[in-house]
Amino acid sequence: MNMAEHHIAGKPQPRVNEVNEPFWTGVNEGRIRLQRCLNESCGRVIFYPRVCCPFCHAPDLKWVDAAGGGRVLSHTTIHRAHHDGFNEELPYVFAAVELDEGVIFYAQLPGAPADGTSLLGRRVKAEFSEHGPDRKIVVFRLA
Ligand SMILES: [Zn+2]
């Protein structure tokens, strides 16, 4: 990617590869796709995408759709962005969200109070935000 393309893109973009491509294609379609381990004695749900189960090392994983609900585990208010592409959104809340399927996402909470109000344990619902050319990203909104 040259500098001109980077300027047009605005925000840093995810690095899509053959392992995580089903996840990112799903996000563009408005779905959160997670992997489930097919080893019957394990069966854990996995995120981020991998080539084998990080718990039992079984190689057989199946893509499954998350329902999109979760709760806030931790959060902070961003007053200075790590990248200029986020400056227009300042200040904003960035959170660790545990999906109901048990995996953790790190994402923005657009519309959440950025004044330091505690959001711990609050229910959230996934949304899919425009992030760049042909690229959406997962964010969460307070339920
Ligand atoms: Zn497993």
- Could you report the per-residue pLDDT of 19-70, keeping only the tens digit for each? 999 999 999 999 999 999 999 999 999 999 999 999 999 999 999 999 999 9
User: Which pLDDT does position 67 carry in this prediction?
Assistant: 98
CB under 5 Å of ion ligand 1: residues: 37, 39, 42, 53, 55-56, 58
Query: End-to-end alpha-carbon separation of the chain, Å?
Result: 38
Ligand 1 centroid – CA 5 distance (Å):
40
Ligand 1 centroid – CA 117 distance (Å):
38
Ligand 1 centroid – CA 40 distance (Å):
8
User: Which pLDDT does position 51 carry in this prediction?
Assistant: 97
Domains of the chain: 3-142 (2.40.50.840)
How does strand 61-65 pair with strand 33-37? antiparallel
> Whose CA is closest to 73, among 46, 58, 89, 95?
95
